[in-house]
Amino acid sequence: MAAVVAVVTIPELRSELAGEGTDGTLTVSSCETHTKTHYGTHRRSTELKFSCTGSWTAQDGDPTYEDVAVATSSRFETGAKIPVVQVDDTFETPQDRDPGKDAAILAFCLSLAAFGIYCLLTGFGARNGPGFSASWQRLPARTVTGPVLGGLFVVGALAALVCGLVL
């Protein structure tokens, strides 16, 4: 599962780091506010989401698209001009292109892969399988694979925290 998520995330991260996309400006014709309700165990919260529609023009003036919808961080007045990047067939604001989140996902995939390999090698996590300490004893070449898998897990977890919180 970690490999599948990583394969999907890598092209997105590569695109964001390379700065791919066409810079342009969206001239707002209308903005809508949507509410999204989250239900918790003891409380309910509502999140406001904004979506603006208008005509998009590339910085160099060519091409131009009508009726482009973009998720925004706030509501804009009609006629406002906001920077928007076109990537393939999608349009997004520059602040939504966050490579830190994608890097955090990849680092977390590294941790998940290390844990998955540990489970496959030892049978940990299987129904009626051994506990953690018993499965650790079943690890082949324990003096080598234990530190390698543990190190990969820790490095992946720390890198995910750093990328998610700092970048």
Both 118 and 133 in one domain: the answer is: yes
Both 104 and 92 in one domain: the answer is: no
CA distance 103 to 49: 25
Whether this prediction's pTM lies above 0.75 is answered by: no
- Name the domain count of the chain: 2
CB 146, CB 152: distance < 8 Å: no
CA distance 105 to 45: 26
Sort residue 163 into left (φ over 0), alpha (ψ -120 to 50) or beta.
Answer: alpha
Both 45 and 110 in one domain: the answer is: no
Q: What is the CATH number of the domain that holds 78?
A: 2.40.50
pLDDT 10s per residue in the chain (167 long)? 788 888 877 777 766 666 677 889 999 999 998 888 878 778 888 888 899 999 999 988 777 888 899 988 888 899 999 988 887 778 888 766 667 788 888 999 999 999 999 999 999 988 888 999 999 999 999 999 999 999 999 999 999 999 888 87
